[in-house]
Structure 1
Amino acid sequence: MALSDEQTAQVIELAGNLAREGETTQLLEFLDHGLPVDAQNAAGDSLLMLAAYHGQAETVAALVERGADVDLRNERDQSPIAGAMFKGERAVVQVLLEAGADLDAGTPPARQAAVMFGFVIE
């Protein structure tokens, strides 16, 4: 039985809340039951973006392991790594760097965000 668009949006919103809260085990169950790892909410925020912005390094790592696109930008052209820099989430930034996040993607690009928020990128 297929979900309606409204039901799909509700599932993505619930999964997004799990990503924000760092409820990794429960979030991965959604993926195990068919939710795409790169699902995006109405604002274009992916599960990875939500986890990154809220400092959930373990959840970010788990999503990366499941194949999440580390450079998938939201409707405002923001990248997960720039969002993590904006919030000062150093552990998340490290996970995303190790996963190959593009420092030149998005607006502002992560390189510019690094300068603005005092991150040293090696």
Structure 2
Amino acid sequence: MTENSAPGSTTPGSTTSTPPGTQAPDEETLALAAKLFQAARDGDTGLLRAYLDAGAPASMTNAAGDSLLMLAAYHGHAETVRLILQHGAEAGKANDRGQTPLAGAAFKGYTDVAKALLEAGADPDAGTPSARAAAQMFARTEILELLGN
């Protein structure tokens, strides 16, 4: 994982491409999606809670396949990660580059985020690189201990 391949490094507000046979989202929907992705990056748990409680999908992804969970994990927001998981996000869902939220947390050294993801069933050996490999590469000893290395 490098900064150039970092989750959320796509154009702000970009959203998943439209599958064939479906209608493209309107500008208002795209703006809301951008707002929610930014809230995940910023750790704005209150804003996300309001939208998730109202039915926004916890599994939504942007054009790079980065989920709300991936963005919250990569930016170190453990409380936000827990909220998104409580709303049904998949702890081990990789983005389009094969990176998992746990690997992002390991890469950045966010032990509290890694704990939350592990408690939700994230696999430390999934993804490319895996969380275990990222923790080893960047000498994240606390995270390696969590992973039982």
TM-score (structure 2 length as normaliser): 0.75
Larger Rg: 2
CA RMSD of aligned residues (A): 1.6
Residues 1:31 and 2:86 are matched in the alignment: no
Equivalent residues in 2 for 1:31-70 (5 A)?
31-70=52-91
Aligned partner of 1:21 in structure 2 is 42
Per-residue deviation, residues 32-86 of structure 1 (Å, max 9, x unmatched):
2221111001111100000000000000011111111011111111000000111
Residues 1:92 and 2:100 are matched in the alignment: no
Please list every run of 5 or more consecutive structure 2 residues that lacks an aligned counterpart in the other structure: 1-22
Work out whether residues 9 and 41 of structure 1, in 8 Å CA contact, stay in contact via their aligned partners in 2: no
Work out whether residues 55 and 84 of structure 1, in 8 Å CA contact, stay in contact via their aligned partners in 2: yes
Please list every run of 5 or more consecutive structure 1 residues that lacks an aligned counterpart in the other structure: none
Partner Cα distance (2:125, 2:100) in 1? 9
TM-score (structure 1 length as normaliser): 0.90
Count matched residues: 120
Work out whether residues 107 and 131 of structure 2, in 8 Å CA contact, stay in contact via their aligned partners in 1: no
Per-residue deviation, residues 62-121 of structure 1 (Å, max 9, x unmatched):
111111101111111100000011111111011111111011211111121121122322
Partner Cα distance (2:34, 2:43) in 1? 14
Aligned amino acid, residue 5 of structure 1? P
> Where does structure 1 differ by over 6 angstroms across 4 or more consecutive aligned residues?
none
Partner Cα distance (1:91, 1:32) in 2? 24
Partner Cα distance (1:55, 1:48) in 2? 11
Equivalent residues in 2 for 1:70-89 (5 A)?
70-89=91-110
Report the 3-state secondary structure (helix = DSSP H, G, I; strand = E; otherwise coil) of the residue aligned with 1:83: helix
Partner Cα distance (1:68, 1:84) in 2? 16
- Identity %, equivalent residues: 50
Aligned partner of 1:5 in structure 2 is 25
Report the 3-state secondary structure (helix = DSSP H, G, I; strand = E; otherwise coil) of the residue aligned with 1:5: coil
